[in-house]
Amino acid sequence: MDAHALNAASPPLRLTGCLAPAKLNLFLHVVGRRADGYHLLQTAFRMLDWGDTLDFELRTDGLIRRRTDLDGVPPEQDLVVRAARLLQGVTGCKLGADIAVHKVLPMGGGLGGGSSDAATTLLALNRLWNTKLSRQALQDLGLALGADVPFFIYGRDAFAEGVGEHFQPLQLAPARYVVILPGVHISTVEIFSSKELTRNTDPIKIADFAASSTRNDLQPVACNRYPEVARAIEWLAQFAPARMTGSGACVFAEVASEDEARRIVAECPASWKAWQALSLERHPLYESAT
């Protein structure tokens, strides 16, 4: 076995049931655009205790194998496989891994599922391979895979700026949410590249976040193109203030109790899907980086 795996600190040979949590964007303002077309954002990221789960098993032959199929995503394009290869590439690690992804989060849901899978992979393999990259180094690596990856590695609620990679910690009270997937999936590129998107919201300060009136600037674009998103927001707003997360399609509302959450989920129209979830204070693999 490779020296990495024989290290006296004895990294484990496998990590199973690793959560790749969902995120919500409590608000999302588009404050500008970079020369390369990427948008400058301000957003509040909240991590949820609900998501995909991944299993990792060490291989000594250096191969990265995806053990589960993902509809429409060939292994070479899977963010999990790409994350593992990236970590191998920058560290020169000769170890490999078998990876199983148990998908729960809808794709194109605005919940960051693919990004979270990639972040969990970077954190888990950093431990399994004993590659010892710092949290910041993993965040920098993750940004090359997707704009939401660094947040999951940061691993706690955050006020984010830039393209979503500069963080300040946010202290938020624990909360329960209902999340609804209207029967559509939305491509992030489609929303960001739309002509009607406003890109000039005035920046706010983190200190003013709680008192500011915020919104999701991507929401009017998504509602216009996908009326089902507007209908879901309107439906959920009967119970509590409702908003879209990320580039959609999911919409969410904070609710006061588990009973209320259950009632809303039970009443959700059959053509949509509904879940409830709690906020999550720390990423379960937070300790895999320093």
Ligand X SMILES: Nc1ncnc2c1ncn2[C@@H]1O[C@H](COP(=O)(O)OP(=O)(O)OP(=O)(O)O)[C@@H](O)[C@H]1O
Ligand Y SMILES: C[C@](O)(CO)[C@H](O)COP(=O)(O)OP(=O)(O)OC[C@H]1O[C@@H](n2ccc(N)nc2=O)[C@H](O)[C@@H]1O
Contact mark string toward ligand Y, 78..117, x via CB under 6 A:
----------------------------------x--x--
Asked if 150 and 164 touch (Cβ cutoff 8 Å), the reply is yes
Catalytic pick among 117, 148, 157, 217: 148
Footprint on residues 225-264 left by ligand X (CB under 6 A): 246-247
Q: From the CB of 194, what's the least distance to ligand Y, in Å?
A: 11
Residue 286's identity, in one-letter code, is: Y
Q: Which residues contact 125 (CB under 8 A, 6 or more apart)?
A: 56, 83, 84, 87, 97, 131
148 catalytic, yes or no? yes
E-strand ranges in 34-125 read 39-59, 64-66, 96-102
Indicate whether 142 belongs to the interface with ligand Y (CB under 6 A): no
Taking alpha carbons only, the member of 54, 124, 136, 138 closest to residue 95 is 124
Binding part of the chain for ligand X, among 35-43, 111-119, 200-208, 252-260 by CB under 6 A, reads 111-119
Distance of alpha carbon 214 from alpha carbon 218, whole angstroms: 12
Indicate whether 114 belongs to the interface with ligand X (CB under 6 A): yes
Indicate whether 148 belongs to the interface with ligand Y (CB under 6 A): yes
Binding part of the chain for ligand Y, among 5-13, 65-73, 140-148, 224-232 by CB under 6 A, reads 140-148
Q: How far is CA 231 from the centre of its chain?
A: 24
Q: How many residues bind ligand X (CB under 6 A)?
A: 22
Out of 113, 142, 150, 155, the residue judged to bind ligand X by CB under 6 A: 113
Tell me which of ligand Y, ligand X, none is bound by residue 41, counting a contact when its beta carbon lies within the kind-specific cut-off of 5 to 8 angstroms: ligand Y
Distance of alpha carbon 120 from alpha carbon 256, whole angstroms: 30
Asked if 13 and 57 touch (Cβ cutoff 8 Å), the reply is yes
Residue numbers at the binding site for ligand Y (CB under 6 A)? 25, 28, 37-39, 41, 43, 112, 115, 146-148, 163-164, 188-189, 192, 246-247
